[in-house]
Amino acid sequence: MRFSLRVAPPKIIETRGNGVFEPARPEPFTGPPRDYLKMFLLARKDYLSVFRSGDYRSRVSQMRGFGRQLVMVNVPEQVKYVLATRHDNFERKSPAMRRALEYLLGDGLFISDGETWKCRRPLVSDIVHKSRLPQFAGHMEAVTLDLVQRWQGLPPDTVIDALAEMGGLTAEIIARAVFGDDIGPDDAGEVVAGFTSFQSLVDNLNLAYVAGFDNGIPLLKTPRLRRAIWRVRRVIDRIAINHLEGRSHDGSMLDLLVRRQQKNPELGLDHDALRNEAATIFMAGQETTAATLTWAWYLLANAPWSEAALHEEIERVCGRRPPTLDDVPKLEYCRAVVEETLRLYPPVPVLGRQAREADRIGSIDVLPAAIITISPWLLHRNPDIWTRPHHFVPERFLGGWRPVPYSYIPFASGPRICAGLQFGLTETILCLAILAQRFTVRVAPGATVRPASRLTLRPQNGLPVTIHTR
């Protein structure tokens, strides 16, 4: 008898109709309630695969299968309790996330906590504040127009990977904004490929933590993992050093960090700290925006009525001139498309927090060191909150309508809400508008789209597409 630790992934649900599109999502898990081994094996590769139908409803539940208490929260009021009201007790990121990213980000803001986080959060928030958007928008416009030129030179029916294309686009934008440096397509491709490889090698769960080790155990640095880390850090470190040694342009985010440290030495931002914060801003801004743009192309390609409304708005607002930052407030439907994309495919679909002390969430008594899971994927598709929760309906975000507080959290919420929210949202709207003005994007015939939750939510194996000039 042969014993295998491989499990088949769930089937994908994807339906189309007249004016209706239900985009790709995995079938809910239907295995036995205590089939922990199968659930663990599925979750290692894709966390979305272990959610049952009932997990999408408004409830707080717990599991103690491996000895560690795991609490899942899917009620807006209790989401607020964890992320805002009792933020001090649930500030710490899960060991799985910290262990997964420490090799890339060091003690960067995304995975830091305590005094390090308190010291750096205001600094980074100020640097990526929306008031600085005019300073960085020129990079967004220029790099996207460069991509327009390259796409116009593609031979007809060329199949390209939208995820890689959007990854290269956002890598170049964030490199210029963070470092004041033009990294070029080769280095941008290295960052995208390296992080893609890194994600494929990192488990969603730190089994050692679930089994009882207080902080889990570090990732095993296999040769493949080392190569993936090297591909990313080589590029980031080189351009960071160029900047710190005065070989790049002024006005970048890193330049602002350096000047702030010079003005306030008590911040303690040494070379490693500056590099870690630059890497954090770079990776957070590059990966999440690339994934959102990729999902937006997939959704628009399958919803021609929505694509037509988007094109009509861009033509009405901009005519034939390229969209600019000044147009973003008037591109209301474009924003709605982006917001609906973030609802259906939140860049970080599972938020994990570690309880410092005993607490109570809803009817659940929470033990010290328990893991609290809040999943934007589940929350955004909760049928108790959203009408047609699995369907692509950008119109739900029009007319001044806003969702129930703490039911829509694509950038997290509370004190740890993404510092670069406005930067990323503006970048996504502007890039989408500039490219959609000139092109339609179609999913390549025969391509299968499967959402996969690793560190971020992206199409498994990318998104093969063809580009068509309008």
Classify residue 7: in a domain, yes or no: no
3-class SS of residue 439: strand
The model carries a pTM of: 0.89
Q: State the DSSP code for 131.
A: G
Q: Which residues pair with 412 in a beta bridge?
A: 410
Q: State the DSSP code for 109.
A: T
pLDDT (mean) for 232-253: 70
3-class SS of residue 133: helix
Give CA separation, 292 vs 215, 449, 456, in Å: 31, 15, 10
| Sequential DSSP letters for 8-72 | PPPPEEEEEETTEEEEEEEPPP-S-TT-HHHHHHHHHH-GGGG--GGGGSS-EEEE-TTSS-EEE
Give CA separation, 247 vs 190, 239, 257, 279, in Å: 21, 9, 16, 18
Burial code of 172-200, b = ≥16 C-beta within 10 A, e = fewer? bbbbbbbbbbbbeeebbbbbbbbbbbbbe
- What does pLDDT average to over the chain? 85
| CB distance 87 to 413 below 8 Å | no
Q: Residue 233's pLDDT band (boundaries 50, 70, 90)? A: confident
Tell me, what CATH number does 49's domain have? 1.10.630.10
Classify residue 2: in a domain, yes or no: no
| CB distance 463 to 163 below 8 Å | yes
Query: pLDDT at residue 110 above 70?
Result: no
The answer to which of 107-116, 366-375, 411-420 has the lowest mean pLDDT is 107-116
User: For position 238, what pLDDT does the model report?
Assistant: 77
| Sequential DSSP letters for 166-186 | HHHHHHHHHHHHHHS---HHH
Classify residue 5: in a domain, yes or no: no
The radius of gyration of the chain's CA atoms, rounded to the nearest angstrom, is 22
Classify residue 1: in a domain, yes or no: no
pLDDT (mean) for 409-426: 89
- List strand residue ranges (DSSP E) for 197-264, in order: none
User: For position 33, what pLDDT does the model report?
Assistant: 72
User: What pairing do the DSSP bridges indicate for beta strands 20-26 and 359-361?
Assistant: unpaired
User: For position 215, what pLDDT does the model report?
Assistant: 58
End-to-end CA distance of the chain: 58
Can you tell me the distance from the alpha carbon of 371 to that of 208, in angstroms, rounded to the nearest whole number?
Answer: 13
Can you tell me the distance from the alpha carbon of 345 to that of 334, in angstroms, rounded to the nearest whole number?
Answer: 16
User: For position 411, what pLDDT does the model report?
Assistant: 92
Classify residue 3: in a domain, yes or no: no
| Sequential DSSP letters for 397-431 | G-TT--PPTTS--BTB-GGGS-TTHHHHHHHHHHH
Query: pLDDT at residue 91 above 80?
Result: yes
Can you tell me the distance from the alpha carbon of 183 to that of 254, in angstroms, rounded to the nearest whole number?
Answer: 15
Classify residue 51: in a domain, yes or no: yes
Q: Residue 429's pLDDT band (boundaries 50, 70, 90)? A: very high
Higher pLDDT, 182 or 398: 398
Q: Please state, as a whole number, how many other Cβ atoms lie within 10 Å of the Cβ of residue 112.
A: 23
Classify residue 66: in a domain, yes or no: yes
Query: pLDDT at residue 278 above 90?
Result: no
User: For position 3, what pLDDT does the model report?
Assistant: 43
Query: pLDDT at residue 96 above 70?
Result: no
pLDDT (mean) for 53-82: 90
Which domain, by its residues, includes 281? 12-469
| CB distance 92 to 115 below 8 Å | no
| CB distance 458 to 452 below 8 Å | yes
pLDDT (mean) for 223-231: 83
Query: pLDDT at residue 371 above 50?
Result: yes
Q: Percent of the chain, pLDDT > 70?
A: 84
Query: pLDDT at residue 1 above 50?
Result: no
pLDDT (mean) for 181-193: 74
Query: pLDDT at residue 203 above 70?
Result: no
- Which of these, 348, 344, 337, 346, lies nearest to 432 by C-alpha position? 337
Half-sphere exposure of 286 (CA within 13 A, CB side): 30
Can you tell me the distance from the alpha carbon of 225 to that of 103, in angstroms, rounded to the nearest whole number?
Answer: 10
Q: How many domains does the chain have?
A: 1
Burial code of 438-469, b = ≥16 C-beta within 10 A, e = fewer? bbbbbbeeeeebbbbbbbbbbbbebbbbbbee
Classify residue 398: in a domain, yes or no: yes
- Which of these, 280, 275, 247, 279, lies nearest to 261 by C-alpha position? 275
User: For position 222, what pLDDT does the model report?
Assistant: 80
Can you tell me the distance from the alpha carbon of 190 to that of 323, in angstroms, rounded to the nearest whole number?
Answer: 29
User: What pairing do the DSSP bridges indicate for beta strands 359-361 and 371-374?
Assistant: unpaired
